[in-house]
Amino acid sequence: MTGWGGAGFRIGPPETGRRGPSRAPAALGALLSAVACTTVACAAPPPPPGVPVVDRPVTDEPVAGADGPANPVTGVADLVLPFDAYRPTPGQRALMARARAALLARCMHRRGHAVSPPRPDAAAVAAADPGNSRRYGVADPGRARRRGYHLPPSAPSRTAWDSGLSRSARRDLDGAPGHPGCAERATARLSGPATANPATADAGPADWQWLAVQDARTVEQAARHPAVIEAAARWRACMERAGHPYPSPEAAIADPRWDLRSDAVTAPERRTATADTACKWSSGLVSAWYAADAAAQRAVIAAEPARFAALRDDLRARLALAAGPAGAVLER
């Protein structure tokens, strides 16, 4: 175990390539712009006041599939976690973003402003979303060879379209206290109440912030599982043999030689990241970590069925609204 605990990752800053603040949005609208952390550096922030936490102690009990042959995980495409079933896919995020753009344009037109908010397609959203491929550090060999530790190129800014608005247009977009603008109205219309479901009555409204906290906690807890700690030791030995003696995966990605804020990817960075991913798979680190993480998520789902039913119903309702005549809903 390193001084940071577990597999060597600390709860820390964004130098490891994480995208966005964390999976802790207050509402699904925020989830669309930062739906996933990209490395384990997103490990849980202190939960906001009033957000209950499902915390499971780490034990020495074996995790099914954590030690190799029984685990079917052989590549990043297999890194599908139980919580993923309750979150929007890239295609669904694109659908909701397009619906919101249509609502904004319609509302602003009615107030005398011609605007064209971007309407991303599913392919563009998916291309900029590494999914779970960076949840345990960089783990995609192909991307490591091409991009080193850098994230995939970002999609065009979703806010650049409003940078040149006049003062009047900005006021109509942002609104004022007691007078919602088009942005708030569009969000509200795509956040309509979910279909009534007795299974969700006790849980109250869908709590996306709670899910974000649990998501960050399960990956942090999994890092302390004995099988993951043992695999991390094998990763260190593998990296040392390859000529890259780092104490932990985070230390490799946070090496100050890599400028992750620049578009330039150097040959040494690509070589190191390629060795890193190869060692992660050969050591069993990705497989063990994923198995422990998935087990922790299944335990949370089993402990909170009403909460997850509420999340499922809320997402379904939002998708139904987004797929409907979005351009007309502000007329009501």
Q: Could you report the per-residue pLDDT of 239-256, keeping only the tens digit for each?
A: 999 999 999 999 999 999
Residue 116 to residues 123, 171, 180, 182, Cα–Cα distance (Å): 20, 17, 20, 13
Helix axis angle for 305-323 and 285-303, nearest 10°, is 100
CA dihedral 165, 153, 261, 129 (to 10 degrees): 90
- pLDDT average, residue stretch 4-23: 37
Q: Cα(212)–Cα(23) distance, rounded to whole angstroms?
A: 4
pLDDT for position 7: 47
The residue type at 213: V
C-beta separation of 287 from 235 below 8 A:
no
The region of weakest confidence among 59-73, 110-124, 190-204, 264-278 is: 59-73
Which long-range contacts (C-beta less than 8 Å, at least 24 apart) are formed by 164-169?
A: 165/113, 165/115, 166/113, 168/113, 169/108, 169/113, 169/115
- Pairwise pLDDT comparison (139 vs 205), residue with the higher score: 139
Q: What is the DSSP letter of 180?
A: E
Question: Mean pLDDT across the stretch 157-176?
Answer: 80
Beta strands, E only, 151-286: 175-176, 179-180
Sequence-distant (≥ 6) Cβ neighbours of residue 142 within 8 angstroms? none
**CA-CA distance, 72 to 257, in Å (whole number)?**
35
Mean of pLDDT over the chain: 76
Within 8 A by CB and 6+ apart from 1, the residues are: 229
Q: What is the mean pLDDT of residues 82-102?
A: 90
Q: Quick check: 65 and 72 in contact, CB under 8 A? A: yes
Cβ(81)–Cβ(94) below 8 Å: no
Residue 193 backbone dihedrals phi, psi, to 5 degrees: -60, 140
The radius of gyration computed from the CA coordinates of the chain, to the nearest angstrom, equals 22
pLDDT in tens, 175-218: 988 889 998 988 888 886 544 454 444 555 788 899 999 999 99
What average pLDDT score do residues 111-133 get?
82
Q: How far is Cα 109 from Cα 47, in angstroms, rounded to an integer? A: 40
Residue with tokens 């060692």: 279
Q: Give the HSE-up count for residue 208: Cα atoms under 13 Å, Cβ half-sphere.
A: 23
Please name the amino acid found at residue 113.
H
pTM for this entry: 0.73
Looking at the DSSP bridge assignments, the partners of residue 135 are: 137
152, pLDDT greater than 80: no
